[in-house]
């Protein structure tokens, strides 16, 4: 069975390609390498000892997509391709709406045209906004404070309309919590361009000496130690959830959302302590001001994914930090 993976050279996509190849699927990647490099895919092949096919193609290129669907006849799509920097999305909203929303609509049109109606979509816990925690899939979503988050909410709504118009679609909306960690080989991992926006890549660059110190965004929240609480999930656990979702959409039609998280909350200071333990050195950090738009605390109720997808997270915070540190040490200058 052939799976088309948009954004397959990116952080979560590359780890998912490893799991797909290991499970015996044929993989076709579509990526424009805006935030990744083709060398990542060589590393996916090295890890698995299997070949995949890739196209340097933008998901907004309808003609390009039509050719790929005609040539490779994928039975299902996993749709990772998108821009994801929350702060940048407030400065460049039209770029985000064009890339994420127009790109997704173009992809869905190409799928419909090819008769491929099975899709797993990368959504985000951000769609829950200010709901009480833990977040559950049946909560009202969409109270989102930035254009990036709104693209996720809108694409979920668009897919809902697509299903309502044609019940032969099979759609899985995976709402990721905070993916961190790396493949244990150290060959692939999170490798952002420039200065990282997210906590874990920032910590690992401070630890390796590429950045001077981490600023903890706020120490005065109403949480156990004053810092924000998040639900961190190992990227390999997250990748495996896609395998379960692919199995589910090939067995049935419908549209379902699933929380993909650990169901546990850790503070920024918890993460710093765990990282210091695995790296064996103290991390240089200061407590600074709050970051605009950050929620004090959120984590998943992941029981629906446990029950209906047969998926649950295996790896703990220590393993997440260990694998991040291993990747950072083996790739001090990233993947070229
Ligand atoms: P990433 O940037 O590492 O990967 C995205 C990939 O998509 C990149 O390889 C990029 O080059 C490609 N891409 C972007 N726009 C494209 C386009 N128009 N055409 C073709 N390829 C394009 O990001 P990631 O962390 O792997 O995230 C994957 C998906 O998961 C994204 O949709 C993201 O919004 C979503 N998500 C990520 C997180 C997170 O914390 N990493 C959390 C929730 C949801
Ligand atoms: N943080 C710091 N210092 C930093 C970076 C982050 O203290 O330099 C803190 C943040 O304030 C937050 C926590 O670390 O409390 C995690 O921050 P991230 O930026 O790593 O992650 P977010 O929870 O803000 O956002 C992530 C994804 C979004 C997604 C959201 C909800 O980056 O794409 O989870 O799923 F929308």
115-163 pLDDT, tens digit per residue, is 999 999 999 999 999 999 999 999 999 999 899 999 999 999 999 999 9
The contacts of residue 279 (CB under 8 Å, 6+ apart) are 207, 321, 325
Residue 260 CA, ligand 2 centroid: distance in Å: 16
3-class secondary structure per residue, 67-90:
HHHHHHCCCEEEECCCCCCHHHHH
- Ligand 2, atom 27: closest residue by C-alpha: 178
Segment 307-331 mean pLDDT: 98
Q: Please tell me whether residue 105 adopts helix, strand or coil conformation.
A: helix
Segment 271-276 mean pLDDT: 98
Residue with the two structure tokens 């005065």: 220
- CB distance 74 to 128 below 8 Å: no
Q: Are strands 229-230 and 214-217 parallel, antiparallel or unpaired?
A: unpaired
Q: Are strands 285-288 and 214-217 parallel, antiparallel or unpaired?
A: parallel
Q: Please give the mean pLDDT across all residues of the chain.
A: 97
- Identify the DSSP state of 125: G
Residue 8 CA, ligand 1 centroid: distance in Å: 8
CB neighbourhood size of 42 (10 A) = 13
93: left (phi over 0), alpha (psi -120 to 50) or beta: alpha
Give the nearest ligand 1 atom to 152 CA. 34
Length of the chain: 336
Give the confidence band of 275 by pLDDT, cuts at 50, 70, 90. very high
Helix axes of 235-251 and 11-22: crossing angle, nearest 10 degrees: 60
pLDDT of 107 over the 90 cut: yes
Share of the chain above pLDDT 90, in %: 98
Segment 307-324 mean pLDDT: 98
Give the confidence band of 277 by pLDDT, cuts at 50, 70, 90. very high
Whether 135 is catalytic is: no
- The half-sphere exposure of 118 on its side-chain side, counting CA atoms within 13 A, is 19
Give residue-wise pLDDT tens across range 79-98. Answer: 999 999 999 999 999 999 99
Give the nearest ligand 2 atom to 180 CA. 20
Handedness of CA 265, 141, 311, 22 (dihedral sign): negative
Q: Is the CB of 7 under 6 A from ligand 1?
A: yes
Residue with the two structure tokens 């299902």: 76
> How confident is the model at residue 111, as a pLDDT?
98
Segment 231-252 mean pLDDT: 97
- Ligand 2, atom 6: closest residue by C-alpha: 199
CB neighbourhood size of 83 (10 A) = 18
Tokens linked to 160: 């809902």
> How confident is the model at residue 193, as a pLDDT?
86
Q: Which of 11, 96, 148, 299 is catalytic?
A: 148
Segment 158-173 mean pLDDT: 98
Segment 189-204 mean pLDDT: 95
282: left (phi over 0), alpha (psi -120 to 50) or beta: beta
Q: Is the CB of 32 under 6 A from ligand 1?
A: yes
pTM score? 0.98
pLDDT of 241 over the 90 cut: yes
- Identify the DSSP state of 281: S
The distance between the two most distant Cα atoms of the chain, rounded to a whole number of Å, is: 56
């Amino acid at each position: 069975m052939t799976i088309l993976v948009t954004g397959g050279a990116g952080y979560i996509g590359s780890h998912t390609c490893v799991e797909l190849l290991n499970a015996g699927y044929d993989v076709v990647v579509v990526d424009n390498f805006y935030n990744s490099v083709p060398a990542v895919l060589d590393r996916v092949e090295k890890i698995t000892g299997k070949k995949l096919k890739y196209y340097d193609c933008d998901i907004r290129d309808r003609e390009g997509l039509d050719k790929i669907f005609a040539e490779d006849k994928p039975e299902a799509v996993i749709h990772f391709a998108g821009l994801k920097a929350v702060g940048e999305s407030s400065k460049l909203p039209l770029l985000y709406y064009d890339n994420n929303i127009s790109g997704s609509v173009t992809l869905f049109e190409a799928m419909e045209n090819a008769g491929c109606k099975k899709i797993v979509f990368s959504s985000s816990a951000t769609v829950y906004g200010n709901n009480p925690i833990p977040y559950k899939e049946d909560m009202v979503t969409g109270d989102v404070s930035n254009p990036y988050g709104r693209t996720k909410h809108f694409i979920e709504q668009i897919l809902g309309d697509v299903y309502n118009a044609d019940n032969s679609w099979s759609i899985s909306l995976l709402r990721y919590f905070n993916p961190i960690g790396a493949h244990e080989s150290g060959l692939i991992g999170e490798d952002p361009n420039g200065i990282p926006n997210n906590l874990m890549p920032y910590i690992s660059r401070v630890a390796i000496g590429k950045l001077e110190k981490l600023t903890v965004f706020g120490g005065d929240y109403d949480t156990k130690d004053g810092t924000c609480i998040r639900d961190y999930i190992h990227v390999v656990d997250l990748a495996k959830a896609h395998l379960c979702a692919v199995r589910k959409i090939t067995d049935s039609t419908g549209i379902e959302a699933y929380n993909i998280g650990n169901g546990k909350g850790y503070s920024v200071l918890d993460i710093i302590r765990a990282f210091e333990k695995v790296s064996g050195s103290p991390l240089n950090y200061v407590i600074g001001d709050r970051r605009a738009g950050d929620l004090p605390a959120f984590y998943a109720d992941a029981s629906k994914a446990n029950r209906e997808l047969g998926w649950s997270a295996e790896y703990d915070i220590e393993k997440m930090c260990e694998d991040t540190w291993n990747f950072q040490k083996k790739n001090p200058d990233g993947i070229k």
